Chains A and B, each alone.
Chain A
Amino acid sequence: MPSDEQMVRVASGQGFWGDDLEAPVRQVEGGPVDYLMLDYLAEVTMSIMQKQRARDPQAGYARDFVDLMERIFVRCIEGGIRVVTNAGGVNPEGCAAALVDAGRRAGVAGRAKVGLVTGDDLVDRLEELIDAGHELANMETGEPLSSVVDQVQSANAYIGAAPIVEALRAGADVIVTGRSTDTALTYGPLMHELGWSEDDHDLVAAGVVAGHINECGAQCTGGNCLIDWWTIPDMAAVGFPIIEMSPDGSFVVTKHPGSGGRVTRASVTEQIVYEMGDPTTYITPDVVADFTTIELEDLGDDRVRVHGVKGGPRTDFLKVSIAYSAGWKATGTLTYGWPDAAAKARAADRILRERLDRLGLAFDEIRTELVGWDSTHGPLVGEPPPNLPEVQLRVGVRSADRDGVERFTREIAPLVLTGPPSVTGFAGGRPRVQEIMAYWPALIRREAVESELRVEVRDV
């Protein structure tokens, strides 16, 4: 075990926008930590934030974060806990301004600094970038971005640790970024504290593995854990992960003593394989990590040691996450009861589809699922038995034509009086029409983004 003065502790407090609001409070109050990382962003989050900002220029970031900091600001400043987050979303400026106000309300005026990282947002630069020869081709289809550029809602480059390290060096206590790579929220502070450079491939790769384990909050400490889940204690007060990193790149995954959940080799392994592609090339802006070199050692008492991680040099590119408007969708549900619940649901589905046909409505896709029977395991479950006690019919449609989708939402409730019997579950009203934000992953030469990155430190 590393000695206390060498070890750096990075606690994870949020795994997504909507995670347990009390978790970061437990992290800063439950025992010693040096850094608190808060990950708020996922592939679709940026486009949701972009829509919010279109309605209100002050919005477009994770407001939860500002409310949280008002609660824990004093504790963080007095306890020397520095906070790193990508809560800025598509409006890191607005987030930082709100954070400064929150700091004043919390009573840390004159003794706290807020770091702001901007430049990841490419949405206003797309024409210029395309003109300069950046194709931003879809990584999956190879299509150039010019084919959908008019529909683009958000475009953000995944940025690395450099601006986080710069802000920490400049004395920032709380750092707000836009689309920082999730893992950089953990390995950025480690590079700063332990003096690692981008050429220390194995060390930074170890930091990336630590970041990957940290980035989904309790998913490595017992949450969503399949192995013996029914034996995991006190999930109501689940402990979020804490990385104890040593200067040599070996680290321990643990949680605060007395907190709920469980950290074992198995719980950590489940998180390591989460959202994994080719494990030999886990690409980040600062290093390419090889997850097949990870060695795990279960130390007992909710402590798992990780060592042996190898990495290689970074690539010349950054990944860009682009969201573009791609039509409309809606999903309607009704619940059918015994006997022959599934037969009734399927008959209703058929009637609904015939009515949509008669209305002359065409959709790009209609999908029918029976929740309680096949909505997660599909055809693998076979035919539903006649004695199924109940089932929820779930029908979704997708189209470029908003009016058609809107009309679909008015065709669900009528089935209650005009379709098969023993039906309920319509009290929620008409389904909502949702705009589809399709995902367009692309690559860009890193210098096109890095030349525009800005780091600013403001006094509270």
Chain B
Amino acid sequence: MKKISLVHLAHARSGDKGDTANVGVIAYDPLNYGLLKERLTPEAVKAHFGSMVAGEVERFELPNLGALNFLLHGALGGGGTMSLMNDAQGKVFSTALLRMEIEVPDDVAAAAEGRGRVPEGWTPGASG
């Protein structure tokens, strides 16, 4: 077993509904969906965010998309125009969750290495 950052195993998108942020986490490799489901329990995600999430963390499963959806209640300082946060609409909670470190089998860790990050030496204009 090896501890690696979730950013190498999944991509994500987040948004807001009032004072609740949602983060959808999508496995890069659908075969890792089960592993993510096992590691990313609502309790583990709540513990990861600590004081950033005042309320409960709810989790919903979308096995059809290889995705998990998390609702982070009380995460946006009141939400909408009430919030004083730079990220009042929770747009970057996605990568905040991907910072989480989880234990994975060695072969999964090896296959995931470097995934999810810009390759070294890349500059805008290098592709596209």
Residues of B within 8 A of A230 (CB): 118-119, 122, 126-127
**B126 CB, nearest partner CB in chain A, Å:** 8
Q: Is the CB of B67 within 8 A of A273?
A: yes
Once bound together, how far apart are the Cα atoms of A439 and B49, in whole Å? 25
Residues of A within 8 A of B18 (CB): 43, 140, 439, 441
Q: Is the CB of B99 within 8 A of A277?
A: no
**A310 CB, nearest partner CB in chain B, Å:** 11
At the interface, yes or no: A146 with Cβ under 8 Å from chain B? Answer: no
Q: Is the CB of B13 within 8 A of A396?
A: no
Known contacts A277-B22, A436-B81, A436-B82; A291 and B99 CB within 8 A of each other: no
User: Which of B34-42, B57-65, B102-110 touches A?
Assistant: B57-65
* Binary contact track A348-390/B, C-beta < 8 Å → 1, others 0: 0000000000000000011101010001111110000000000
Q: Is the CB of B17 within 8 A of A367?
A: no
Residues of A within 8 A of B69 (CB): 273, 276-277, 279
CB-contact partner of A379 in B28, B50, B67, B128, under 8 A: B50
Closest B residue to A234 by beta carbon equals B128
User: Which of A95-103, A264-272, A411-419 touches B?
Assistant: A264-272
Closest A residue to B25 by beta carbon equals A273
Known: A226-B116, A396-B84; 19 extra A-B contacts, CB below 8 A, are A140-B19, A224-B13, A227-B11, A227-B28, A230-B122, A269-B66, A275-B16, A275-B22, A278-B60, A279-B69, A294-B64, A365-B84, A371-B86, A376-B86, A376-B87, A376-B95, A436-B81, A436-B82, A439-B82
Q: Interface residues of B toward A: which range? A: 35 or more
**A401 CB, nearest partner CB in chain B, Å:** 16
Q: Is the CB of A226 within 8 A of B12?
A: yes
Q: Is the CB of A231 within 8 A of B26?
A: no
Residues of A within 8 A of B54 (CB): none
Closest B residue to A333 by beta carbon equals B86
Once bound together, how far apart are the Cα atoms of A275 and B126, in whole Å? 32
Once bound together, how far apart are the Cα atoms of A293 and B63, in whole Å? 9
Residues of B within 8 A of A266 (CB): 11, 26
Residues of A within 8 A of B13 (CB): 224, 226, 270-271, 273-274
**A362 CB, nearest partner CB in chain B, Å:** 15
Residues of A within 8 A of B28 (CB): 227
Q: Is the CB of A270 within 8 A of B26?
A: yes
Residues of B within 8 A of A273 (CB): 13, 22, 24, 26, 62, 65, 67, 69
CB-contact partner of A296 in B15, B65, B127, B128, under 8 A: B65
Which residue of A294, A378, A436 has the most chain B CB atoms within 10 A of its CB atom?
Answer: A378
CB-contact partner of A272 in B16, B65, B79, B119, under 8 A: B65
CB-contact partner of B26 in A269, A275, A279, A369, under 8 A: A269
Q: Is the CB of A380 within 8 A of B26?
A: no
Once bound together, how far apart are the Cα atoms of A269 and B66, in whole Å? 9
Q: Is the CB of A380 within 8 A of B64?
A: no
**Cβ < 8 Å to B, chain A residues 227-266:** 227, 230-235, 260, 266
At the interface, yes or no: A177 with Cβ under 8 Å from chain B? Answer: no
**B24 CB, nearest partner CB in chain A, Å:** 2
CB-contact partner of A380 in B11, B62, B96, B122, under 8 A: B96
* Binary contact track B86-128/A, C-beta < 8 Å → 1, others 0: 1100011011100100000000000000001011001000111
